[in-house]
A and B are shown apart, each in its own frame.
Chain A
Amino acid sequence: MLQRYWFGDVDEEGCRGAGTDPAALAGRAAELRTGMESYVPIGWEAARDCGVVRTREEYVDLLRSVCTVLARQKIARAYQGRDVELLQMVRMLDELDNVINLLSERAAEWYQVTNPSFSRKYRSLPAKKMLAIVRKGARGGLSDVSDEIERLSGARSRLMREVSARADEVMPNTSALIGGLVAARLLSRAGGLATLARMPGSTIQVLGSERALFSHLRGGTPPPKHGIIFQHRRVHNAPKDVRGRVARVLAAKLAIAARLDYYRGEAVPEFLEGAQARIDEAGVEA
C-alpha cells in the first residue's frame, strides 16, 4: 500500500525520497492528499532509510523548513484577496471615529473651563462644530491638539471615500443595495467576503447586534430586528411598523448579493433591479 509523506513515497518495496530542497519538497507536499482510513503516522527513521536525512536533527530541521515555506505561501494567498485590506480600512475608519469623538469632547470640556462665560446650552453644538470655536479661541496645548483633531478629521473623510470606492469595487452588488460604507462594515463584522457569502440572510440581518441577539437567545428579551444594516436609510427611515420587514427583505437580498460578489465578482444588473424593487415594496405600509 503506497503511503505518501512529505519526504517521499513509502510502500512495501521500499521508499523513494523526494530530494532535500525545501522549496521543491514544499511544492510536492502542497499537492499531497492523504486518505485517513489507511493512514499510519511514520517514524523519522523512514526518512533516514530513504536517504533524505541522516539524523533526527536534520529531519526536524528539514521538516521545519518545508512547513515554513508552505505556511508563508498560504499566508500570502490568504492576504491576496481584495477584501482583506478593505477589512482593515473600515476598521481603521470606525476606530478613527471613536478617537475623534473622544478627543473632541475632551477638547470641548477643556475649552469651557478656559472660557467661563461659554455654554453649549440652547445651541445645537455637537463637539465637531465646537472644534472650530475651540481652534479660534484656544492657545497653547489646546490649540495644538485641536489642530491635530482637525487634521485627523480630514484623514477620516479621505479614508471614508477610499473605503466606499474600494467596497464598490470589491463587493459591487452588496454596495449597490446598501452603500459602500455599510457594505464594508458588514464585511468587517463577518470577517471576510468568503464568510459573508456563506451567511444566511437572517444572520446578516442581525450582524452587529450580537448583544441583543444573545440576550434574546438566553431567554426573555425580544429579538433584534436589525444590526449594522440599520445604518442604511432604507431601514432607519422606514416607518416603525414595517422596519422589521424592510430589514428582513434587505438582508435576504444582501445574502444573495454577497454570494454574487464572492463567486462572480461583478455587478449583476438583472438581480439588482429586482432586488431594489422588492426592498422598496417592503417599505410600503400595508
Chain B
Amino acid sequence: MIWLGNMLVSPGEGGVYGERTLDGYRVWDPYRSKLAALYTLGGGVELTPEIRVLYLGAANGTTVSHVADYVETVYAVEFAPRPMQDLLEVARRRRNIVPIMADAGRPDEYAPFMEGVDLVYQDVAQPNQVEIALKNIVFLKPGGHLILMLKTRSVDVRQDPAEVLAGARAGLERHLDVADVRWLDPYHHDHAAIVCTLRE
C-alpha cells in the first residue's frame, strides 16, 4: 500500500468521484471507504500488482476504482441498476475492471465469467452476508483471502453488534481461518472487518 505521511493513497487517473489528489496520487479517504478504514487501522491484505480480486457489492465503483489502481484485475459485482450505471462508467475508464451485473448471492449467475482470484472483498447490505461470502469462496485460489465487511445493522438491527460479529465469525470459521477481526470505529460505526484465509 502507498502512504503519504499517514494518508492512504492510490496511483491512477483521478476525478472518479471528486477525490483529492496529492503529489499525483488519489487520496483514499477512510471515512468514505470501509476498505480504506481497514488499512488505516493497520489491518487488511496487501494489494499488489499481480493479484486478482472479486469485489462483491461494488456500488458506484468508488472503492473499486482505488482497488483497481493497485491490482491486476477486479471483477466488480453489483446488482442494483442505478449504481451499475456509474460502475460501468468507472469500468470504461479503467481497463482492469470487469463490471458484472448480478446478485452476489447467486454466484451461478456470474460463474461462467470468473477465473480464480486471490482476494474476495465483500461489502453488501444483506442479512445473510456470511452465507453470501461462503457461496463465493469457490472462486478463491488456495491460500487466498476473504475480507468481509460486516454491516451488523443489516444483519439484525435488534441484536447487539458484538453478538452479530460473534455469530458471523463462528459461521466463517467452519470453512476458513479467521486471521483478523476489527471494528472500523471511528470511521464507520457498527461495521466490522473480518479477514479470513482459505485453508490450503
Contact = CB atoms under 8 A, between A and B. Distances in A.
Interface of A: 4-6, 29, 32-36, 39, 41-44, 60-61, 63-64, 66-68, 70-72, 74-75, 78-79, 214, 217-218
A67 B108 contact: no
B115 A67 contact: no
Contact of A60 (B73, B85, B101, B117): B73
A71 B100 contact: yes
A39 B138 contact: yes
Interface string B149-175: 000000001100000000000000000
Contact of B114 (A41, A68, A79): A41
B91 interface: yes
Most chain A beta-carbon neighbours within 10 Å: one of B84, B107, B108, B113: B113
B99 A68 contact: yes
Contacts of A217: 157-158
9 contacts: A39-B138, A60-B96, A60-B98, A64-B97, A68-B88, A71-B99, A71-B101, A74-B84, A75-B81
B111 interface: yes
A214 B107 contact: no
A61 B88 contact: no
Nearest to A70: B101
A234 to B, nearest CB: 31
B95 A61 contact: yes
Contacts of A41: 111, 114-117, 138-139
Contact of A75 (B101, B111, B114): B101
Contacts of A33: 108
Closest 9 CB pairs of A and B: A71-B101, A78-B81, A34-B111, A41-B116, A75-B81, A32-B112, A34-B108, A74-B101, A6-B112
A214 B112 contact: no
Given A36-B108, A64-B91, A218 B113 contact: no
B116 A43 contact: yes
B111 A39 contact: yes
Contacts of A32: 112
Nearest to B97: A64
A79 B96 contact: no
Interface in B99-152: 99-101, 107-108, 111-117, 135, 138-139
B91 A60 contact: no
Contacts of A60: 73, 95-96, 98
A249 to B, nearest CB: 28
B107 A36 contact: yes
B112 A4 contact: yes
B2 to A, nearest CB: 23
A61 B111 CA distance: 18
A47 to B, nearest CB: 9
B88 A72 contact: yes
Given A60-B73, A60-B95, A43 B115 contact: yes
